[in-house]
């Protein structure tokens, strides 16, 4: 019984808080002060409910997909499962001479599709179209983006990965100091 009365009191409190009056006062400098309690020199104002949107339901039997309009609806729409990028996202390479970057679409790239690889915003496809050799590998973070588009220009798959190249300095503070020579007698 106590639990039911507690739930009832809390729900009434929540409902009353939802319909609480809001008060506003304009200060001498023109700023407005709002409060849920009466303010000296303030007025009760009526706040409108928040604007909301309810989408119109769509009948799936009447919708037209892009694949059915372009191919007559007889073939299912092809999609790549993934576009993997090597090196993996957020990997760290220490002192590499070069970095081999590759894109691996799953399933394999169809002959009619176009793969575009960019490294740090610059187009970087190698001779096979799915790899690039970054040489020299400059220190810092590098971003690789792979996009596969159909002949018609429709995006089929897109993936982005970043990797980090570190080139530790000889003056790194974590480097132990070399041993001091022993004095000769």
What's the confidence (pLDDT) of residue 25?
93
Averaged pLDDT in 10-residue chunks for the chain of 185 residues: 60 55 90 89 85 76 49 64 88 89 88 88 76 87 90 87 84 64 78
Length of the chain: 185
Residue 67, pLDDT score: 43
Residues 104 and 151 reside in one and the same domain: yes
pLDDT for res 172: 56
Residues 15 and 87 in one domain: no
Tell me whether residue 146 is in a domain.
Answer: yes
CATH number of the domain bearing residue 101: 2.60.40.10
Specify if 174 maps to a domain: no
Instruction: Specify the pTM.
Output: 0.50
- 29 in the same domain as 89: no
Domain that holds residue 23: 2-45
Decide: 140 and 167 in contact? Cβ < 8 Å: no
Does residue 51 lie within any of the structural domains?
no
CA-CA distance, 86 to 135, in Å (whole number)? 16
The count of domains in the chain is 2
Return the C-alpha torsion angle 135, 122, 103, 130, nearest 10.
Answer: -80
Q: What is the pLDDT of residue 53?
A: 79
């Amino acid at each position: 019984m106590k639990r039911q009365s507690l739930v009832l009191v809390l729900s009434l409190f929540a409902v009353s808080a939802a319909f609480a009056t809001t008060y506003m006062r304009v200060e001498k400098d023109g700023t407005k002060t709002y409060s849920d309690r009466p303010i000296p020199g303030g007025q009760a104002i009526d706040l409108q409910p928040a604007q909301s949107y309810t989408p119109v339901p769509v009948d799936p039997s009447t919708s037209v997909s892009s694949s059915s309009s372009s191919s007559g609806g007889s073939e299912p729409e092809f999609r790549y499962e993934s576009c993997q990028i090597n090196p993996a996202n957020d990997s760290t390479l220490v002192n590499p001479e070069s970095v081999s970057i590759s894109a691996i679409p799953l399933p394999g790239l169809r002959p009619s599709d176009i793969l575009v690889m960019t490294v740090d915003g610059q187009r970087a496809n190698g001779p096979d179209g799915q790899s690039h050799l970054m040489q020299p590998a400059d220190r810092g973070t590098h971003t690789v983006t792979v996009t596969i588009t159909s002949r018609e220009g429709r995006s089929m798959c897109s993936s982005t990965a970043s990797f980090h190249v570190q080139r530790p300095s000889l003056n790194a503070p974590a480097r132990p100091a070399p041993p001091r020579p022993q004095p000769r007698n």
